[in-house]
């Protein structure tokens, strides 16, 4: 399973990278300066995880201690600035990796909460928070209503992923690696299908 | 005093319920989807308490571990969606329960901070935070200036309630249950009078 | 070095005071009421430090336990309301003290993180957070894109100050008091120069 773990590390940084790109693009569109772009990129990439770590008592938060995340966010910001025309054409790949980041953060967020000895509800709620927290902070900082609360099935996919991790943890039917993989694929697949078919949750507006 | 404690538990969930309704109504008016409505309802109901618990070191926050709160918020969201026409006509009852939630959260917030061994200032500040934090988060997420900073005496009523709890704790003139009751009634009464007579703090605008 | 330490305490309260003034002025312009003005003033003055303390595990946050900060924020609010015409004319002194507060909070934020045993990255990131966090919270509450992400070199000056503290801590070339003084003067000088010559980071808008 060692290969699987290095795969996870790679995917974790890939998720961080893509979330950072989405933050940098939004910040650039708002005409923030160099520091502002890096700050928003880092916030989107690490904000959800930092809130999770504060809530489960993992002090200091991994997003602040592990330089991999900061460097990844800075590289993503640099790329967004230097290759903006290219990044703009990346719409589909960005959505693809964003869905991957969402799934991965939901799974690892729920796992880390369980690993710190917290209960099922904490794990599900903080799995969702890890996955969507950064995007919500981005929208708060850029002064708009968080997109994820309006869009196609997004946070709900994270909910499903976190739920599978928690169910697997308590039923112990499969090893935790297999459960993670299933949760990851389910969340990722649901998000891609929702994007493709424009599935939405009902919104009850008249 | 056992009856009083189950009364408190009932009032705590009643406060959670009414705060969740106010969040769900605001989210519905902004045309958020099903998940968005539940998320905002939960945030309004539990956000203040979660911030308090993080600040006093009660990890993980009760709002995340105790499923009563989550279920209450989901029921309130369902009711808001299903019975919207009815909920809209509830203006006076909602204000009544909102005032009750405000008072209750101010009192329990101050008490919990004292119970964790923190000083008078922490207890007063976090009593207010517990009471108004959820509403402030709602307004941040829905992208408007927090109402509670502009409105009739609201946070000030919470300040008074928390202050009475702290004064009672240090002077020990009465038992803590009696002090809580007095604080609750004072905060609640002040808020209702402010609503009825449209009392405002001075706002110095020209 | 005892004189230096009381100098630091004085500067710390001076920074708190000026940040509180900037919050109170912004809140007054938005026509918030008395409580709203005090709340925003306190948030600007102590918000960054409270976030830092939560992240490094200094529970409860100093901003909530030490009444000096609260009283300073209330005095600053009172002064802003009572002497508004006078405060408005203070533009240059306010910018001067704001730069001083920025430098001081960046230095003390980085130092406190190191004192709690955290690594260089945490110290730099939380040094910046301490310095600019209050201002970012002010802009979130007042519903605008945080100024500090758009303006002349501001957060970058805090970054430089925190960086010098951390470099000094690890190289141990000079005593920590001298390093703090150098970091303080560098950050303060850079900010004043940026204000005077309107230096900006590149912002890549087209």
For residue A146, which phi and psi values (nearest 5 degrees)?
-50, 120
Assess C60–B contact: CB distance below 8 Å, yes or no: yes
Q: How many angstroms separate the CA atoms of B96 and B101, rounded? A: 9
Q: Buried b / exposed e across B73-102, counting CB within 10 Å, b at 16+? A: bbebbebbbeeeeebeebeeebbbbbbbbb
Does A149 sit within 8 Å of B32, measured CB to CB?
Answer: yes
With beta carbons under 8 A apart, name residues in chain B contacting C67: 121
Candidates C27, C54, C66; nearest CB to B55: C54
pLDDT tens readout for residues B15-42: 888 889 888 888 888 878 888 889 889 9
Instruction: Please check whether residue C14 is in contact with residue C97, taking contact to mean a CB–CB distance below 8 angstroms.
Output: yes
- Digit-by-digit pLDDT tens for chain C (206 residues) are 455 566 667 777 888 888 898 888 888 888 788 888 898 899 999 999 999 999 998 888 988 888 889 999 999 999 888 887 777 776 666 677 778 888 989 998 998 899 888 988 999 999 999 998 888 888 888 877 776 666 667 888 899 999 999 999 888 888 878 888 899 999 999 988 888 877 766 666 54
Contacts of C180 (CB under 8 A, 6+ apart): C8, C107, C111, C165, C168
Q: Which of A145, A160, A191, A202 to mutate to test the interface with B (most CBs of B within 10 A)?
A: A145
Is omega for the bond preceding A60 within 30 degrees of 0, making it cis?
yes
Does A60 sit within 8 Å of C202, measured CB to CB?
Answer: no
pLDDT tens readout for residues C136-178: 888 888 877 776 666 667 888 899 999 999 999 888 888 878 8
Does A204 sit within 8 Å of B28, measured CB to CB?
Answer: yes
Does C121 sit within 8 Å of A65, measured CB to CB?
Answer: yes
With beta carbons under 8 A apart, name residues in chain C contacting B136: 141
Minimal-distance CA residue of chain B relative to C84: B204
Q: What ipTM was predicted for this assembly? A: 0.83
Chain B 83-102, residues with CB within 8 Å of chain A CB atoms: 84
Burial of B63 (0-12, 13-18, 19+ CB in 10 A): buried
Assess C25–B contact: CB distance below 8 Å, yes or no: no
């Amino acid at each position: 399973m060692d290969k699987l773990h290095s795969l996870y590390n790679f995917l974790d940084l890939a998720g961080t990278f893509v979330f950072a790109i989405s933050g940098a693009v939004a910040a650039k569109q708002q005409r923030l300066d160099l520091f502002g772009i890096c700050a928003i990129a880092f916030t989107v990439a690490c904000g959800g995880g930092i809130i999770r770590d504060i809530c489960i008592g993992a002090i200091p938060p991994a997003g602040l201690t592990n330089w991999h995340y900061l460097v990844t966010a800075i590289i993503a910001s640099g790329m967004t600035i230097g290759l903006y025309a290219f990044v703009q054409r990346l719409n589909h790949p960005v959505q693809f990796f964003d869905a991957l980041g969402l799934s991965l953060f939901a799974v690892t967020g729920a796992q880390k909460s369980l690993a710190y000895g917290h209960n099922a509800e904490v794990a599900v709620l903080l799995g969702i928070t890890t996955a969507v927290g950064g995007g919500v902070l981005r929208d708060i900082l850029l002064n708009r209503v968080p997109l994820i609360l309006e869009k196609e099935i997004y946070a709900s996919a994270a909910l499903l992923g976190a739920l599978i991790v928690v169910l697997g943890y308590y039923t112990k039917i499969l090893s935790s690696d297999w459960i993670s993989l299933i949760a990851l694929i389910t969340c990722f697949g649901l998000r891609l299908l929702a994007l493709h078919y424009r599935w939405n949750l009902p919104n009850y507006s008249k």
